[in-house]
Each structure stands twice: as C-alpha cells, then as structure tokens.
Amino acid sequence: MAESPRYYIFDHDDVCSFAEGLDMNRHSQTLDLKAMMENGDKEFSFLFGGSSDARHVFGTLIRLANWKDKLTRQGNPDFSVHLTVVDIHPASIARNLIMFTLLDEISRNRPKKDSARVVELYATLFYLSTSIILPDYCHKIIVETSSSLASKLAQTAYNLPRWLHLDRETTSSVLGVLRYWAKPLPKTTAAFLAATKDHLHSCTEALESVHNYPKSDSDLEDYAQNMQGEADIYDRTKVLLPPKPFLPRHPAFRRLVDAYGNVPASTWKSLNREVEQTWKPNPTVFEPSTVADPETGNEERYPKVFEVPYHTIRSFALLSHRYSQSPGKADGRRPSPELKSIGNTVITSPTTISIASDSWKVQMASSTSSKSGCDMNTGMFESVSAYCWNYALLCRHMFPRFLGCRVLEELKTPFDDNVLEPLALPRPLETLATKQELHTWLSRLLLHTLSPATPQDNPCRVLMPNNITALFHVLIHLHNVGFPLHWLGDFVHLLLSDSLLTDVELYSGVLPIPMSKPKHDAPLPFRKAHLGAWRIGLEAIVSLIKDVLPFFAAVPQNYPSVDEVHPYLACVRFVDLRVVYPREVQVVSVYDRSIGLMFFRPSQGVRHETHIHDIPDILQGIYSGDDVQIVLNQEHVDLPNSNVIWKMSKSWLERMKKEQWKLVVYLTDVKIPEPVEAREWIDIKEAGVLDPPNNRSHPRRSIMDEVD
C-alpha cells in the first residue's frame, strides 16, 4: 500500500450538475434547487468530496449561471452559493486552484478588451482539463500561474481572490506541487506521446468494452456523432483543435481545417511534426510520487495516463446539449463563457479524510442527492441488487430491515445515480430483522471480511478492503437503527469467546459475490467458525473501544488492558509481484487497501504461502490456526516507503520472539506473498518513535513483504 493516494489525472465519470439532482431530476425524492429558488430560498451550499478534476464543480457552476441568467431577466437575480471542494491528493487541489485563478483572471481581463489574452486563458483552461499536451502559450500560462500561486501561498496572509479560500492545513502540501509545476519540466512532447500512445489506445478499448454498459440516449448519441471530426483528429494526434482565432499560430492545423474531408498524408505528417515541436506536456499531469512509481510512471518518469482525456470535453458537450434540448430544464440561452458572481468558493482538503474504501461506513443525509460516488468496475454488476449484495451481503429490499434505509428506484441500473434514503431512526422493532436473521447476516459479513473471494483482472476488479474495525462500525450503526442492545452484545461475546456457530457458507469463488446460493440436498448444519487466528486484531480493537461501546460486551478475562497493547513498527522489503508473478500484473497495486498482516511460526516443509491459502480452512477448522495470527486492522501501511505499524499486546510479542515467528504482509484478495524473515519489531511506545521512518535502503521492488 502506498502512503500517498493515487493521483487521478482525469476523472472517468460523466459530467453532471449537483444543482440538478440525480439523473436530471427524474427522482421525485431529490433536492429540487430550482423549485427552492422559485420559493424564495437564497443561500445554497454544495460539498464536492473527492473532486478530482473538478468536472462536477464546473458542471454545477454552468447550471447555476444558467439559472442566474433567468432570474436576472425576471428581476430577481440575488442568491449566494458556497462550494466546498475536497480531495485527498494535493495535486488535485493545486490544479483546481489554477483553474479558479484562471477564471478570476478572465473576469478581470474581459473589461480591458484584451481579446487575445482572454482567448489564451480560455484555451489554457480547455487544454489543462482535456489534454496531456498543450500549446506553448498555454504551457507558459500554467507555469506562470503556478509560480504566482506558490508565491502568494508562501506568505503569511496569502492574497487569493476574495471569493476563493484554501484551508491553511492544506497549504504546505499544495505548495510543494505548485513549486514543482512552476519550473519547466525536462520533458518532451515526442517522448510523452510515444510513452502514452499504446496505453491510451488500450484505455479507450477497455472503456468501450465495459460489460453491461447502457445504451446512450438516442438524441445525445446523435449529437455526439457531430463531434466525430474532433475525435478523428484526437485519435491521430492526441490533441484537440486550437481556438479558431489562433489558427494562424498553428499553420499545420490551419491547413488541416481547410482540407478536412480530403486531408493528404503530408498534412497529417506536418501536423504531427508541428505538435511535437511547438506543443508541450501539460505540467499538471506530472506529480513527483506518481511518475516515480513503476505502476503509474514509466522509466523515463512520464506518467501513465489511465483515462482518456478527450472524454472530458465530450461529456461537457453532452451536458450543455442536454440543457439546450430538455424542455423545462434549460430556461434561456446557454451560459456565456464568463465567471459569474454567484457566491463564494472554498477549496479545502482535510487531513483527516480517509481513502480506505469502507463499505459499511455509509453516512446518511436528509437529501438523497447530497452523497455520491462512482466505480470503474460498474459493469461487473448486472443490477442494483447485485451491487448491494456484493458489498452489503443484503438484497436491495432487505436494507430497511437491517440498515434503516432503503434503496431508491428498483428499475435503475448500476450505471445510474443510485441513492440510499434514510428512514426515521430508531425503527420500530417489529419492522426489523429477527435476532437469528441479524446474527446470520453479521456472521456472513464477518466470514467474508476475514476471507475475501478472489478478484478478476482490471478493469473488472472488485476490491473488498473491509476489516474487523468496519464490523464494529456496523454494530454501532445497528444500535442507532433500533436493534436491542443485548442482541448486539451477544454477537460480540460469541465473537470474542470464539464460540460462534453459523450455517453461513463462505464464498471462495471469483468476485463479485453472486446472489444465487449453491444448491444443497439439505440445509447446511450449524458449525463452529474458528476465529482464534484473528485474536491479535480483536484484542487490539476491543481494548480500545470496550468502554465506549453503546452496548455491553462480555470481554474474556484473558484479554489485555489498553495499557498492555502497544504499537509496533516493522521495516519491510518491497518485492514487485509484477516481475515475480506476471499473471498478477493487472490485479496488484500499491494503492490497494486490501492489506493483511500474517504472523506465523515456521514449520519445516510448510511455506508461508500455504498458511495464506489455508485461511478458508482455518475458519472452518480443517487446518489448525494455532501457529498463525492475522491482523487486518493496521495502524499504518506504506510499503513503497518500507514500513508497517500494527497494535498487539506485549505478551504476544514476547511469545513470538521466543518462538521465532515471522511476519508477512499480503493482499487479502491476492494471496501470493514473497517471504522475508522478521528479525526486529520496534515497540513504538517504549522506543519513543514518533513517526515511521522512510526506510529506502531496500530496493523498491513489491507489494508482498515482510519485516527486515
């Protein structure tokens, strides 16, 4: 697992306006901002979590500007908007700052009648968002803007536009990115295009072949066909046409436009030569940790572009066309390309946000349109119910009885906007699942968390990164839903005392988890789930939270106290599975959060891979887990920087040292580690280690590792 999150250069989902609600307000339950405006509401706030390239921010601004035009014509233009734009990667925040700064400069230059400068600024915004390379005049603007922003943010009271704010805690990390972009990078367009040519082509093919992708609206598809000329040029050159007023600056493009429909080969050749000589790599697609990582950068430190930039402009065009064609939705003309004074914009990146994909930590809100997300593997799910079953192990209609919410729109597909509507909590007991049903479901969650199924290759990979901590989050939520406290406490007691009996059958096939159950001649008998191999993790969690749980849980007397549980650090060696196991090249990523720690006592003739592959057998008692301990809830994992931190009791450490146990770090859904003997674990509490070291003495080689 990488300490730094992945930098998504270009987003992959279609542009939408949060001001419209879900699916262009086809949901009757969604927030109707337009109606609220007409009823006199004047202040609106939007939160964009995981904003990436800010496409939904600008989609929302386009719609709000359109409404402002209408209200102005009606003589009632006043309303204010507050946008909070959040992303965990500083490069995304830095790029968004540049875009908003360019918009501010456009608004200041328009009254000066400096049309050439305004067109340059618009062109820079356009290429920054849609292209990996851009004209030299756009490159110059990005470098100068990055330098100017870096200088302003380095001051005690930075001088940003009055409507723009950057959270102070974010400044230092964003500054580093801006300073990186402020210096011309030693990169060439020819080398960048050569490095990305095959990869961009494969990305396009992968997206076009996504399983179960829905057919487009016929009207929008007809409109998209009118963009085919641009698409043809992009396929050949990986750039989009420059602005019409600037065609004289691009002689080869001028000849292409004049001859389009019958372009000679010599024109295409001269165009490619002109692009390589006068265009430059987009600085904002470069980020130090991204280009240095072999998974996201090549040997020459050029980034691997996993998205197709051209799709961004296509998506914006379809959004604008939808507004211009939808009756009752596009009142008035299309918004003019200028910055509207519609309120304040806040860009922030809280350091506390977590990027671990925790399926059970679902935050509810009174408006169903206020929380959303998008998956690249959407096509793997044939229905919304199939999606719900894989991640929650509940059918869609079961959500009210277990989770106190309901899934809207039964006939929608996973490619649509899908929402959970919260119900009034706590729920009446008679509307909830029985105690036996609840314990069966919790047992199913537990077993599939401890032993996930096997993923497919990208882009079909389904991640299952939950851990036991997530299960306790579920238990706390179930208390809020209205389940009796002793029902929850009884389950926790069975868990801690290793006395859980269940008739749940563990699925060990290929993800996603199918909804259909295997056919048996008779119901499966209740049998013991052997949980002793997960004792370390349970001890660490329970010692910390037992006094704050909303229900009583009988904790075994031999469990350690919170003072006896210490954090431990191990330096690991990074072994690249993409070299050792070529078959796993597509499914292994240092950005995956499906990490497990396995401690084991070596046995002659038994390799550690055997222990990891035997996890399902350990759960079923087929294989004894006495010599194995598994920890899924780590404190810190940063394999590229060679360290991992976990918590366990001192008594376990003393036993493991005495018996010469080893530690292996593995992906819970790709069970192929490389062995490295554990020789020294550091007690952080006793040693006074405040921060994990960036141990770079080992060769940067892996995802499966162990302690050095």
Distance of CA 216 to the CA centre of its chain: 25
Mean pLDDT of all residues belonging to the chain? 76
Give yes or no: residues 164 and 310 share one domain: yes
Residue range(s) defining the domain that contains residue 242:
34-209+229-348
In a domain, 29, yes or no: no
In a domain, 156, yes or no: yes
Task: Determine if the pTM surpasses 0.75.
Answer: no
Q: Of the candidates 518, 545, 572, which is a domain's last residue?
A: 545
Give yes or no: residues 280 and 384 share one domain: no
Rounded CA separation 127/134 (Å): 6
Give yes or no: residues 266 and 125 share one domain: yes
The number of domains in the chain is 2
Rounded to the nearest 10°, the torsion over CA 125, 130, 133, 139 is 10
pLDDT-based confidence at 408, cuts 50/70/90?
confident
Query: How many Cα atoms within 13 Å fall on the side-chain side of residue 667?
Result: 26
Predicted local distance difference test score (pLDDT) of residue 374:
42
Rounded CA separation 697/504 (Å): 46
Beta bridge partners, 134, equal 280
Mean pLDDT of 157-167: 83
In a domain, 357, yes or no: no
Task: Tell me if 602 sits within 8 A of 534, measured CB to CB.
Answer: no
Quote the percentage of the chain above a pLDDT of 70. 68
Residue 659: burial class (beta carbons within 10 Å; 0-12, 13-18, 19+): exposed
Rounded CA separation 374/347 (Å): 21
pLDDT at 220 over 70: no
Predicted local distance difference test score (pLDDT) of residue 411:
58
DSSP 5-30: PP--SS--SPP--TTT-GGGGT-TTS
pLDDT-based confidence at 477, cuts 50/70/90?
very high
Q: Alpha helix locations (H) across 161-306? A: 168-182, 189-208, 218-225, 228-237, 251-259, 265-278, 288-292
pLDDT at 683 over 70: no
CB-based contacts of 220, cutoff 8 Å, min separation 6:
318, 321, 322
Predicted local distance difference test score (pLDDT) of residue 403:
96
Query: DSSP label at 451?
Result: S
Nearest-5° angle of CA 43, CA 46, CA 52? 155
In a domain, 141, yes or no: yes
Task: Tell me if 442 sits within 8 A of 449, measured CB to CB.
Answer: no
pLDDT-based confidence at 384, cuts 50/70/90?
confident
Residue with tokens 């400068």: 117
In a domain, 466, yes or no: yes
Give yes or no: residues 338 and 442 share one domain: no
| pLDDT digit string, tens, across residues 258-292 | 887 788 999 999 999 999 999 999 999 898 877 77
Q: Alpha helix locations (H) across 287-407? A: 288-292, 310-325, 384-392, 399-403
Give yes or no: residues 244 and 178 share one domain: yes
Nearest-5° angle of CA 17, CA 74, CA 106? 55
pLDDT-based confidence at 558, cuts 50/70/90?
very high
Sheet containing 164-166: order of strands = 43-49, 80-86, 343-348, 164-166
pLDDT-based confidence at 249, cuts 50/70/90?
very high
In a domain, 25, yes or no: no
- Residue 139 host element (H or E): helix 136-153
Q: Of the candidates 487, 520, 545, which is a domain's last residue?
A: 545
Give yes or no: residues 340 and 382 share one domain: no
pLDDT-based confidence at 339, cuts 50/70/90?
very low
Give yes or no: residues 51 and 166 share one domain: yes
pLDDT-based confidence at 515, cuts 50/70/90?
confident
Residue with tokens 């914009």: 345
Predicted local distance difference test score (pLDDT) of residue 564:
94
Beta bridge partners, 345, equal 83, 164
Predicted local distance difference test score (pLDDT) of residue 102:
94
In a domain, 629, yes or no: no
Predicted local distance difference test score (pLDDT) of residue 593:
61
Number of helices (H) and strands (E), helices first, in the chain?
A: 24, 20
| pLDDT digit string, tens, across residues 541-555 | 999 999 999 999 899
Nearest-5° angle of CA 486, CA 489, CA 490? 85
pLDDT-based confidence at 517, cuts 50/70/90?
low
* Nearest CA among 591, 468, 451 for reference residue 540: 468
pLDDT at 611 over 50: yes
Rounded CA separation 663/40 (Å): 63
Mean pLDDT of 187-213: 63
Task: Tell me if 566 sits within 8 A of 685, measured CB to CB.
Answer: yes
Mean pLDDT of 657-681: 65
Q: Of the candidates 483, 516, 545, which is a domain's last residue?
A: 545
Give yes or no: residues 421 and 499 share one domain: yes
Give yes or no: residues 282 and 321 share one domain: yes
Give yes or no: residues 66 and 183 share one domain: yes
Give yes or no: residues 420 and 521 share one domain: yes
pLDDT-based confidence at 1, cuts 50/70/90?
very low
Give yes or no: residues 75 and 193 share one domain: yes
Rounded CA separation 664/566 (Å): 19
What are 145's two structure tokens? 């803007």
* Nearest CA among 24, 61, 70 for reference residue 333: 70
pLDDT at 533 over 70: yes
In a domain, 681, yes or no: no
Predicted local distance difference test score (pLDDT) of residue 162:
85
CB-based contacts of 111, cutoff 8 Å, min separation 6:
none
pLDDT-based confidence at 4, cuts 50/70/90?
low
Query: DSSP label at 305?
Result: -
Which three-class secondary structure state does DSSP give residue 575? strand
